[in-house]
């Protein structure tokens, strides 16, 4: 069986839907999302919307937009993974910044205004793989599927 443009779009948009649904399931189980977790969700929602439009109006540029959306959430997942592993600092609004040189009042103010959910802590992992790692890998795979959709439509 040869996969058509429609098949590829269904797989790619459905994959984003599944990843987004998985995020909501983890949230329902008590794993509150951090700021970077939310950032990873938005491109999935965009990819789903693009998929719906592409199913109704098959256009190659829509598949490329879907690929960009999936690659964007994959890139955010890689960034988030690095923040979790302390390879680099994340946004100051969701990670613990440096406290050197702060007065007691400034330190207290930083503690009192700190977000409850930190981006540099790993709330769940299995065999050393975190949710951000999974999002990165699967999202980049979905980007490839979107590219295959674009190529399929170009060939007819």
Domains of the chain: 5-91+118-155 (1.20.120)
Residue-wise pLDDT for 56-93, tens only, equals: 999 999 999 999 999 999 999 999 999 999 899 888 77
Following DSSP, what letter does each residue of 86-129 receive, concatenated?
Answer: TSS---TTTS----TT--HHHHHHHHHHS-SS-TTS-S-EETTE
Average pLDDT over residues 129-154: 94
- pLDDT surpasses 90 at 136: yes
Supply the pLDDT for residue 119: 80
Q: Looking at per-residue confidence, does 114 or 13 come out higher?
A: 13
| Total-model pTM | 0.82
Cβ-contact 41, 136 below 8 angstroms = no
CB-count exposure of residue 9 (10 Å: 0-12, 13-18, 19+):
buried
Which of 45, 55, 41 is closest to 10 using CA atoms? 55
Residue 87 to residue 136: CA distance in whole angstroms: 16
The overall average pLDDT reported for the chain is 88
Mean pLDDT of 122-150: 93
Dihedral of alpha carbons 116, 132, 65, 16, sign: negative
In the chain, what is the straight-line distance between the N-terminal and C-terminal CA atoms, in Å? 15
Tally the residues of the chain. 156
> What is the Cα–Cα distance from 10 to 103, expressed in whole angstroms?
55
Better-predicted residue by pLDDT, 13 or 84: 13
């Amino acid at each position: 069986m040869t996969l058509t443009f429609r098949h590829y779009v269904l797989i790619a948009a459905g994959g984003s839907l599944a990843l987004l649904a998985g995020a909501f399931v983890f949230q329902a189980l008590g794993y509150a999302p951090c700021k970077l977790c939310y950032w990873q969700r938005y491109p999935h929602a965009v990819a789903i919307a693009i998929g719906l439009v592409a199913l109704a109006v098959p256009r190659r540029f829509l598949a490329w937009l879907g690929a960009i959306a999936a690659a964007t959430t994959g890139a955010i997942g890689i960034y988030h993974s690095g923040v979790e592993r302390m390879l680099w600092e994340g946004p100051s609004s969701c990670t613990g910044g440096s406290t050197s040189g702060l007065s007691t009042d400034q330190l207290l103010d930083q503690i009192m205004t700190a977000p409850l959910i930190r981006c540099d802590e790993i709330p769940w992992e299995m065999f050393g793989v975190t949710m951000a790692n999974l999002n990165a890998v699967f999202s980049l795979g979905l980007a490839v599927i979107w590219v295959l959709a674009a190529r399929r439509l170009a060939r007819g």
